[in-house]
Structure 1
């Protein structure tokens, strides 16, 4: 059995859906402690399209993650210890770290969590390996003596134009100060060795995040020395040494030996928010200071740091996390660099899991006391900027009023709040709900005027205000052999126009004209014109009500006058409705809304020749046509005029998980007759729909496009009290009622109950499903005028079961009709629930 459907071929003006993406954010913060400490952070946040599914933030803090040299050329290294103030490079050229205050000048020390720039660094003096001024040959006379007894790397490497072979004996350990400064060495491997344990650390050790050298990279002697300098300056190590182990292919395996920094034990932990506080920095002339000047500077910085801590605000980190970290500290005999990394990761993980994607740890203080202080920049919003873009992405003046956009932005995106990724997602959903923009971006970026501040940019591309669309379609119906055939070679179609965003206040006028015969549209010309006026109570009023007024003229095939299973084809009855409708829609939340209004309409029932029809008809066993069927209208004339109130209360908290809805959707609808119209109809018609989408398993982290398995539970009840026109009776059966039956095949009734369940199993980025459905008229069919259920020999109730597969917006499913005991294959469009 095939259910009729339509194929449409449209010519339209494309209206692209808004894209949801976040720009890369690079923010630069200075630490608060001794010396200048620069902090660079990168934030990458991505999401899918305007299904607005959950978007996961990815924050990468470049501190303990990336160190690079300054590019200033060789600088001479001076001795330092974990309690000395280390000299810092100019902040615009390098990221440096401070290990603490000068020994003997105070008990408080601080370490900044970050890394370096690139290029250059400190370098040693002297020539290359061969001596004698550093001949790049490495001492050919020595090689001639031992050439036949010891293996050497082949200096004639095919890639010698890109890098130079070391030209030394294989498996030889060479300190980087002995390397040739004119050569470019290829790094084959990087290995970290802990001097205390004399063991190589695991490649997953967080200390590897500090090293910028990577296998396969090419570096000069100066760059290798710069790497050592940056590792010393980051504060994580007391000593760092680097050696190269010569390889047979001419490359070097770099071995970095270190002694991890340690501080006195601590038993408590405190986190403070230093966002928006001005940053202190060391003078550039620190290297030329005398010991007395350094001592005085250290004391000044000590007081500045205490003042800074007093000015710092409490952070959002919960006390439970602080107690957890304090427990870690009490179990250790010393505060180590690895412990600080562990603390940093724990703090930042909490912030990022809570959606604070711009939050980061920038400094640790009080390292030589009983309390470790963690300084956090949480990402305070200092500015909110709304910008319109033209089609080329150039800033322009927009049509939409700023108040319209501003009321859709959540309070958490306002200045004074902390930026949260969920607030950004909510802003995208709200602004996209206006249906005024083709592209929407919400981009957090660092505030160049305020340290640690975040500027939230909302960039918008407006849709065209005036659009038009023309579409044509051909109807497909079952043929004599059951195969689909064209109902008519004459195409139907529609013309739609819209003028949106009138006066920049999101008001719109839209209209649509349709016909099933474009060659002779007078036969069944339908139209609808609608005016939409949002913010009836004013743009600044928090009560969000939208006024709509429309006039319409439509034609629809009535499912009440349909034959039961196995019956001959019943002459079709068409229901024409023409009238006016006004309503108000009030949004209580994003999930709940109420619509109420007034409908005044004229209803006319017609046969297939468009003549007014007063009664239904069926074919008798003799082949004759019985015209004494149920009356088609309440007035028995074929024309009803009626006025009634209409309402709809919807609560929908469903969300999409990889294209599959999850959550619940509850709808209550009612129509209340006013006793105005033909034979003064007074009635109350109501309907309740409850649908639950139960997610059976969490999302697959390995395949993020795979939908989860879902169990759908559905129930619907409807009833009517008072006068009921036959064309308004409830019908059972069809693709959106009880599957496996034609529309209205089971019953036309005053009351009904419908139950359904469906299990959806994901397969290859889509899902297959099995279902079971049941519908009953609750014995109310006899209460409908003329009892169309009995007249057309319908059963009054029925059940079905089956299975199907979802292919995009198409459902291909097999359904078993339990009344007839037969099954059929159906192709459906859209969702069942």
Structure 2
């Protein structure tokens, strides 16, 4: 890395010129010299990266400068090659605007980077130094979302679900917090600890991620979680353990994954995971149960502990126009979990799941300026082989069919589900110096287990008289906030029951 003083040797006028500004008013000052104007007008205009046009100059060197929010040069532990490796330009190359622009875009996508800018510093006849200015993100992250960005092949609470019907989630109210340390050793790697708790669940996830480039790397996690899961909860009749308590599913395991972009808008991940699953008579109990009070199987093995070894694959093709509030385009997700037979349970199966969402601009009505969007969503899944109850598809709930509780429709080997939702703007409010867009929704959800509930080991839906299909409809409010989409919804189902829903995070 060449610092300020080295650049100054090549260019004596550097003291007083704008280094980083290109069609902006931004600049870098010497160390300890305070910027007299606001922070950088960083080179991104309406989400488009802007770089110098150039004039066939030869790049003599590439330097990385780290700055604070006010534009002052600072020391950083980040290794310069973490930044420079994202460019397909090297010293000795002729500067090309397209390669500079694509490289700077990749820099913006690094999790350790908050803002970035690029300029050309003339150091001789038709020669330039390519200078990259970086404002880093904080090395400490705290959030309330336990999941990793999709896709990931890791299991546990970090996994974003390909379809919301995957059953390894707790019933009742749960929340969590995740603390992470980023950019350890200046090498774009980090560790995180997520803790989850609620009325019927408790657990943790310890993770490590190493980015080899902006769009690829590997991860490792270890998790331990106990909770009452929806497939064994409530019902008509409600079936508990011999002592009258709800079955508590204990999951302990971990895995390793490799993730990489296959194209600009197409990401995939592969991995291998192991978990030991048991059912207990309390969140903190050591007593293991393999059957409920009526003799229905809760686990595959007679000793009440199942070992699961899975090869995991997940992929996301996202061609929606806006990650925060999509208004046009589509998103497709697919996942496969291949269970390899090990231990007493010897489970052999392949769980397949797919999720497709399409966004259509449809200006029917609204109460203010903003996007008016029709959303169509289709989800489906099936299990080839052993359909284990705690790994099957649960149908019903706020993220599936609104108006029903989790698993109130079925626990199934296979399913299909569809949603039609119309989103419209209401108003924009200012809260805590932030603009929050408030909108409304009308929705209709439907799902069907395709008669597959009796193929699940222990038949949890059959013995609890779940209907197997159902629909819900209603209306709601959506607030686009800094912490995510906040949803408040009122839903009715086809049996005349109602649900009030409050949730953080979008459904699709």
| CA positional deviation for 1:610 | 4.0
Residue 134 of structure 2: aligned partner:
460
**Conserved in 2, the CA contact under 8 Å of 1:382 and 1:447?**
no
| CA positional deviation for 1:645 | 1.3
Aligned length: 426
Structure 1 residue 814 corresponds to structure 2 residue 496: no
Structure 1 residue 508 corresponds to structure 2 residue 182: no
Paired residue for 2:440, among 762, 765, 768? 768
With normalisation by structure 1, the TM-score equals: 0.45
Write the distance in 2 (CA, Å) between the matches of 1:557 and 1:802.
28
Write the distance in 1 (CA, Å) between the matches of 2:92 and 2:390.
53
Q: Helix, strand or coil: the match of 1:676? A: coil
Deviations 1:659-704, CA, capped at 9 Å, x for gaps: 435422211111112211223211111111111223347xx9xx9x
Residue 268 of structure 1: aligned partner:
none
Paired residue for 1:695, among 340, 361, 368? 361
Paired residue for 2:227, among 531, 547, 556? 556
Equivalent positions of 1:85-124 (< 5 A) are none
Q: Which runs of 5+ in 1 are unaligned?
A: 1-20, 27-43, 58-354, 360-377, 472-486, 518-522, 618-626
**Conserved in 1, the CA contact under 8 Å of 2:326 and 2:359?**
no
Q: Helix, strand or coil: the match of 1:727? A: helix
Paired residue for 1:635, among 286, 297, 301? 301
Residue 582 of structure 1: aligned partner:
256
Equivalent positions of 1:527-546 (< 5 A) are 527-535=204-212, 545-546=216-217
Write the distance in 2 (CA, Å) between the matches of 1:577 and 1:590.
35
Equivalent positions of 1:256-275 (< 5 A) are none
Assess, with a 3 A threshold, how the Cα gap between structure 1 residues 448 and 534 changes in structure 2: closer, same or farther.
Answer: closer
Write the distance in 1 (CA, Å) between the matches of 2:91 and 2:393.
48
Deviations 1:409-449, CA, capped at 9 Å, x for gaps: 466999635546x964x555522432113x31325468586
Residue 471 of structure 2: aligned partner:
799
Residue 400 of structure 1: aligned partner:
78
Assess, with a 3 A threshold, how the Cα gap between structure 1 residues 414 and 744 changes in structure 2: closer, same or farther.
Answer: farther
Q: Which runs of 5+ in 2 are unaligned?
A: 1-19, 26-40, 145-171, 428-436
Residue 601 of structure 1: aligned partner:
275
| CA positional deviation for 1:811 | 1.1
Residue 830 of structure 1: aligned partner:
505
Equivalent positions of 1:630-709 (< 5 A) are 630-656=296-322, 659-660=325-326, 662-696=328-362, 706-709=369-372
Assess, with a 3 A threshold, how the Cα gap between structure 1 residues 773 and 696 changes in structure 2: closer, same or farther.
Answer: same
With normalisation by structure 2, the TM-score equals: 0.72
Write the distance in 1 (CA, Å) between the matches of 2:249 and 2:327.
34
**Conserved in 2, the CA contact under 8 Å of 1:379 and 1:454?**
no
Assess, with a 3 A threshold, how the Cα gap between structure 1 residues 578 and 800 changes in structure 2: closer, same or farther.
Answer: same
Structure with the higher helix share, 1 or 2: 1
Assess, with a 3 A threshold, how the Cα gap between structure 1 residues 460 and 645 changes in structure 2: closer, same or farther.
Answer: same
**Conserved in 1, the CA contact under 8 Å of 2:43 and 2:116?**
no
Q: Helix, strand or coil: the match of 2:462? A: helix
Residue 380 of structure 2: aligned partner:
717
The structure with the larger Rg is 1
Equivalent positions of 1:727-738 (< 5 A) are 727-738=390-401
Equivalent positions of 1:205-244 (< 5 A) are none
RMSD: 4.0
**Conserved in 2, the CA contact under 8 Å of 1:557 and 1:575?**
yes
Equivalent positions of 1:123-522 (< 5 A) are 385-390=63-68, 393-409=71-87, 416-417=94-95, 419=97, 424=101, 427=103, 429-437=105-113, 439-444=114-119, 447=122, 457-465=131-139, 467=140, 497-514=179-196
| CA positional deviation for 1:780 | 0.3
Deviations 1:5-25, CA, capped at 9 Å, x for gaps: xxxxxxxxxxxxxxxx97644
Residue 67 of structure 1: aligned partner:
none
Write the distance in 2 (CA, Å) between the matches of 1:435 and 1:550.
19
**Conserved in 2, the CA contact under 8 Å of 1:736 and 1:832?**
yes
Write the distance in 1 (CA, Å) between the matches of 2:290 and 2:419.
34
Structure with the higher strand share, 1 or 2: 2
**Conserved in 1, the CA contact under 8 Å of 2:202 and 2:283?**
no
Write the distance in 2 (CA, Å) between the matches of 1:413 and 1:795.
67
| CA positional deviation for 1:826 | 2.1
Q: Helix, strand or coil: the match of 1:431? A: helix
